[in-house]
């Protein structure tokens, strides 16, 4: 049973909205941060230095040195697992605007292609 003209227009509008929102969702999900290799390197150095200080504190039987080693390891782990955002905010904002415009362009091309097929 064929669709009426109103139903066909409604279906076309729903498809356009779906494709438009789908492109927006892809643009939002596709944005990923880059690895901050400086923070990772500092985390590794901090972890190794912390372990050395911890072992040194045990050897010389000084709890404060061992505690300092633990704190250095903990800060290194925090730095490695959660790199500071302030170093990457400008790059992320630029990437978002570029990707959004790229996705907008793809969405427009898709709409033009669909309109030309009809």
pTM (2 d.p.): 0.44
Per-residue pLDDT of the chain (118 residues; tens, 9 = 90+): 787 888 888 888 888 887 777 666 655 655 556 667 888 888 899 999 999 999 999 999 999 999 999 999 999 888 888 755 554 445 555 555 555 677 788 788 888 887 877 6
50, 77 Cβ separation under 8 angstroms: no
pLDDT at 18: 77
CA distance linking residue 77 with residue 81, whole number of Å: 6
């Amino acid at each position: 049973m064929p669709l009426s003209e109103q139903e066909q227009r409604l279906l076309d509008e729903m498809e356009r909205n779906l494709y438009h929102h789908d492109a927006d969702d892809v643009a939002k999900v596709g944005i990923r941060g880059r690895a901050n290799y400086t923070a990772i390197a500092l985390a590794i150095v901090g972890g190794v230095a912390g372990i050395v200080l911890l072992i040194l504190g045990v050897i010389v039987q000084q709890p404060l040195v061992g505690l300092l080693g633990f704190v250095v390891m903990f800060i290194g782990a925090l730095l490695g697992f959660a790199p500071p955002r302030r170093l990457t905010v400008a790059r992320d904002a630029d990437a978002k605007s570029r990707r959004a415009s790229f996705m907008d362009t793809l969405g427009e091309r898709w709409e033009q292609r669909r309109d030309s097929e009809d």
